Structure 1
Amino acid sequence: MKKGYVQVYTGDGKGKTTAALGLAFRAVGRGMKVIMFQFLKGMATGELKSAELLKPNFEIKRFAESKKFTWDMTEEELQELKSKVREEYEELLRILKSGEYDIVIVDEAMAAIHSGLLSVEDVLRLIEEKPKSVELILTGRSAPQEIIEKADLVTEMKEIKHYYKKGVPARVGIEI
């Protein structure tokens, strides 16, 4: 790819990760290499199994994996998670800058910011230091204005109606 852009999928609606995965699926079909870093996702999901089928051109790495929400953690658990995320962020930055992948997806980047695991400056550094030829995709609710301003494409998913509010849990193959 000659020129890679920065895309942001944000908003309170469903579909941010799904949009990023759709882009990944399309890119792999064109022979591109894609890596997705998922923050704060700990449960088994269909995309993990699909990624295995698309190797070596598609890979998912999970960062800040936890079975607990950050607000349910003790101070010690939270500090341990933050320390781990610092190491993982350095790995993410190294891989991004390597140019080994055509597309780098940072799923739930905004959740990592809002949880205090990454700073806005950390994510802006990813944007600034990405190689010219790499497409960078960032997802998550409530993207900070500074990130929106640096991005080349921003799509907001807006919830109008969701069956979750009627008590329907996440469904295998649809949400997970």
Structure 2
Amino acid sequence: MKKGLTQVYCGTGKGKTTAAIGQGVRATGHGLKVIMIQFLKGRPTGEVEALKNLEPEFKVFKFEKQKKFFFEMDEEQKADLKSDIKNALNFAKKVLDTKECDVLILDEILGVIENQLFTEDEIINLIENKSDEIELIITGRILPERIKSMADYISTIEETKHPFYKGVTARKGIEY
């Protein structure tokens, strides 16, 4: 890769992780190594199961033990989650320092900022210190202005209509 850039998939719509994974799959098709670190996603998903077929070129890491959504957690569980996320961020720094991959996906890292588990400055530090040889992809709902100004690509996925509002719960193989 000539120069690694920073990509962002953000917004309220469904498909941010799917888009990031698609970019990672494309990269593996050209012989690039991909690492995805998932944040705030403790539950198993179909896409992560499918990606096991692409190992070792596409590796997925989760550090969280919690299986609940953030809004369902008590303060002790949130403290444990913050510790898990700190381990994940340290791993991301290590991956960037050692250049273990060509593409690093930090899935739902913007949610870490949104839920005030870590500061925007800590995430900006990751972006600023990435090697020019690594493509960085970040996802999440809300994109802070300072990170927006640092990104090379921004794709916003907005919700126009969602079956959840008609009482349809998440479906295996479609939403997870």
2: CA distance between counterparts of 1:27 and 1:86?
A: 27
Q: CA deviation at 1:83?
A: 2.2
Task: Tell me the equivalent position of 1:40.
Answer: 40
Q: CA deviation at 1:65?
A: 4.1
Task: Tell me the equivalent position of 1:27.
Answer: 27
Q: Does 1:15 align with 2:8?
A: no
SS at match of 2:60: strand
CA contact (8 A) 1:101 1:134 kept: yes
SS at match of 1:158: coil
5+ long unaligned stretches in structure 2: none
Q: CA deviation at 1:167?
A: 1.7
SS at match of 1:44: coil
Normalising by structure 1, report the TM-score. Answer: 0.94
Distance 1:170 1:74, change over 3 A: closer
1: CA distance between counterparts of 2:27 and 2:118?
A: 28
Task: Tell me the equivalent position of 1:72.
Answer: 72
CA contact (8 A) 1:108 1:139 kept: yes
Q: CA deviation at 1:164?
A: 2.0
CA contact (8 A) 2:65 2:84 kept: no
Per-residue CA deviation, residues 67-106 of structure 1 (Å, 9 max, x unaligned), is: 2233333322222221232222111111122112010000
Q: Does 1:145 align with 2:161?
A: no
5+ long unaligned stretches in structure 1: none
Count matched residues. Answer: 176
Q: What amino acid does structure 2 have at the position aligned with 1:10?
A: C
Per-residue CA deviation, residues 50-78 of structure 1 (Å, 9 max, x unaligned), is: 11100110011113341223333332222
SS at match of 1:105: strand
2: CA distance between counterparts of 1:23 and 1:173?
A: 20
1: CA distance between counterparts of 2:158 and 2:80?
A: 34
Task: Tell me the equivalent position of 2:83.
Answer: 83
Structure 1 residue ranges (4+ consecutive) displaced by more than 4 angstroms after TM superposition: none
Task: Tell me the equivalent position of 2:103.
Answer: 103
Distance 1:150 1:65, change over 3 A: farther
Q: Out of 131-140 and 62-71, give the one that drifted further.
A: 62-71
Normalising by structure 2, report the TM-score. Answer: 0.94
Identity over aligned pairs, percent: 45
Distance 1:51 1:17, change over 3 A: same
1: CA distance between counterparts of 2:146 and 2:65?
A: 26
CA contact (8 A) 2:112 2:118 kept: yes
CA contact (8 A) 1:40 1:63 kept: no
